[in-house]
């Protein structure tokens, strides 16, 4: 039976999809246990499944208040799920294989290379070790800062401060967006010792491991950076700067969000609001009270997401940057797409356009379907759909009130968004086909 099952998985991406699916089901089973809730009663399969999917897919959308509904056991299960989801099922599986067996098979190396977007499968063991150690180090540093702040600034006892600091550090680095307060992080909107460590953890976790490692090696020599690092870094900085300025302008006088804050606290709130749509999912401003223009701009930022091979979702800033270069080359009539002193392969161009178009189509269809299932307006439904697809977790407050069918739809969107449209599509393909001939070329009028 095992051999027959393995022989049916022809593509490495199928292992990734299967691994995430198994983690969701196991997490849901644990969350249905009475010990997982504060009331001591089973949460119900749908609530548990939605929460487990949101955790494994590092999204942060919830149908119940995390702190009020789930017990400490349930919260620990959720934290473990988004830690596993952030690092990647195949990364964790390869690590355990290396620790227990002392060697990693070729199939496992290919699978983890698919999950982490590694260029080569020859040294995946070292890659996995570096990824895990770097992740744990970032989470530990963030947890120390948050723990100290909770103790000194808010009088929390050591044990509770450690728990709060550790939970939110892991949630931030993995771009999960789960918080242990009913208002998420709105009570800390003017506290830089809470907002900035969480924002930095979200940024670092959302940059992507290949980019972070390359920046660590050659941050003094930008000319040596790869195309991936250049595009990810430049586009991320531009989006953060533009996003901060936009939210300052759009929400400065809104009495329901930023208008009630001191002028000194508004830049921090705007910066935090610009960071979170890249897939962080936390909020210090009431999303439901933002102006519609802010919702639309947040939709765009969420759809773009973070860096490739990161804990973030969306189509990725790399894809967005590549599309800009493709459009620029087409407008100039260039026969090839060049980025710096490198030529962009046609296969990469097709992949960028495929991911984007699949994302647009999926969001459009899901928005239409959710509007049929809920009484909410288009702007709120579109916000919810993009947040689920981009595994972001921000919400205008309609998640819990959505119908059962709506919850199922959002769960599927989170799963597809975490795996990736192209990865999931290739995982569903029975096998790769190679065309051994070329057809005659015929030009078609476009536009």
Predicted confidence band of residue 312 (pLDDT cuts 50, 70, 90): confident
Mean per-residue pLDDT, 213-223: 83
Q: Are 206 and 175 in contact (CB under 8 A)?
A: yes
CA–CA gap between residue 239 and residue 271 (Å, rounded)? 11
Q: What is the mean pLDDT of the chain?
A: 86
Q: Residue holding tokens 């017990």?
A: 71
Predicted confidence band of residue 425 (pLDDT cuts 50, 70, 90): low
332 pLDDT exceeds 70? yes
Predicted confidence band of residue 427 (pLDDT cuts 50, 70, 90): low
Q: Higher pLDDT residue, 97 or 174?
A: 174
105 pLDDT exceeds 70? no
Predicted confidence band of residue 237 (pLDDT cuts 50, 70, 90): very high
CA nearest neighbour of 184 among 168, 166, 160: 168
87 pLDDT exceeds 50? yes
CA–CA gap between residue 84 and residue 135 (Å, rounded)? 11
- pTM of the predicted model as reported, rounded to 2 decimal places: 0.88
Mean per-residue pLDDT, 153-181: 95
Contacts of 73 (CB under 8 A, 6+ apart): 33, 35, 36
pLDDT of 174 reads 93
6 pLDDT exceeds 50? no
Predicted confidence band of residue 72 (pLDDT cuts 50, 70, 90): very high
pLDDT of 5 reads 41
CA nearest neighbour of 77 among 40, 134, 28: 28
The DSSP secondary structure of 171-214, one letter per residue, reads HHHTT----SSTTTTGGGTT-HHHHHHHHHHHHHHHH-HHHHHH
379 pLDDT exceeds 50? yes
> Which pair of structure tokens corresponds to residue 334?
């260039």
pLDDT of 123 reads 62
Q: Are 240 and 274 in contact (CB under 8 A)?
A: yes
412 pLDDT exceeds 80? yes
pLDDT of 324 reads 92
Percentage of the chain beyond pLDDT 90 is: 60
323 pLDDT exceeds 50? yes
The domain limits of the chain are 11-426
287 pLDDT exceeds 70? yes
Mean per-residue pLDDT, 262-284: 94
Q: Are 393 and 384 in contact (CB under 8 A)?
A: no
CA–CA gap between residue 106 and residue 113 (Å, rounded)? 10
Contacts of 193 (CB under 8 A, 6+ apart): 145, 149, 153
Predicted confidence band of residue 381 (pLDDT cuts 50, 70, 90): very high
pLDDT of 107 reads 59
299 pLDDT exceeds 80? yes
């Amino acid at each position: 039976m095992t051999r027959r099952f393995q022989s049916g998985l022809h593509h490495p991406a199928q292992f990734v999809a299967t691994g995430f699916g198994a983690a969701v089901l196991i997490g849901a089973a644990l969350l249905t246990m009475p010990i997982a809730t504060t009331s001591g009663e089973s949460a119900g399969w749908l609530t548990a499944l939605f929460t487990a999917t949101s955790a494994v897919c590092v999204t942060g959308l919830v149908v119940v208040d995390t702190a009020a509904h789930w017990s400490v056991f349930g919260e620990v299960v959720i934290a473990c799920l988004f830690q596993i989801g952030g690092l990647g099922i195949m990364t964790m599986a390869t690590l355990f294989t290396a620790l227990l067996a002392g060697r990693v098979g070729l199939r496992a190396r290919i699978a983890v290379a698919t999950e982490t977007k590694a260029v080569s499968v020859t040294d995946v063991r070292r890659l996995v070790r570096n990824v895990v150690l770097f992740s744990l180090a970032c989470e530990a540093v963030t947890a120390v800062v948050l723990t100290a702040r909770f103790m000194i600034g808010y009088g929390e006892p050591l044990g509770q401060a450690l728990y709060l600091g550790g939970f939110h550090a892991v949630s931030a680095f993995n771009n999960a967006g789960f918080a242990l307060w009913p208002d998420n992080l709105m009570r800390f909107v003017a506290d830089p010792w809470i907002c900035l460590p969480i924002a930095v953890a979200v940024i670092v976790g959302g940059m992507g491991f290949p980019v972070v490692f390359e920046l660590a090696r050659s941050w003094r020599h930008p000319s040596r950076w790869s195309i991936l690092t250049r595009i990810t870094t430049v586009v991320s900085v531009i989006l953060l700067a533009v996003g901060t300025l936009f939210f300052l302008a759009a929400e400065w006088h809104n009495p329901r969000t930023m208008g009630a804050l001191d002028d000194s606290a508004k830049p921090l709130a705007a910066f935090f609001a610009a960071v979170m749509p890249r897939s962080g999912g936390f909020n210090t401003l009431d999303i439901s009270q933002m102006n519609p223009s802010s919702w639309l701009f947040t939709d765009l930022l969420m759809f773009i997401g973070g860096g490739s091979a990161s804990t973030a979702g969306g189509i990725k800033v790399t894809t967005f940057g590549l599309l800009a270069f493709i459009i620029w080359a087409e407008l100039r009539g260039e026969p090839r797409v060049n980025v710096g002193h490198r030529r962009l392969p046609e296969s990469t161009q097709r992949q960028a356009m495929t991911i984007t178009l699949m994302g647009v189509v999926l969001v459009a269809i899901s928005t239409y379907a959710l509007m049929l299932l809920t009484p909410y307006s288009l702007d709120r439904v579109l916000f919810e759909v993009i947040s689920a697809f981009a595994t972001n977790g921000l919400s205008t407050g309609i998640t819990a009130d959505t119908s059962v069918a709506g919850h199922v739809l959002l769960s599927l969107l989170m799963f597809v968004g975490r795996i990736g449209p192209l990865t999931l599509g290739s995982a569903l393909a029975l096998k790769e086909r190679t065309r051994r001939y070329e057809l005659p070329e015929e030009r078609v009028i476009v536009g």
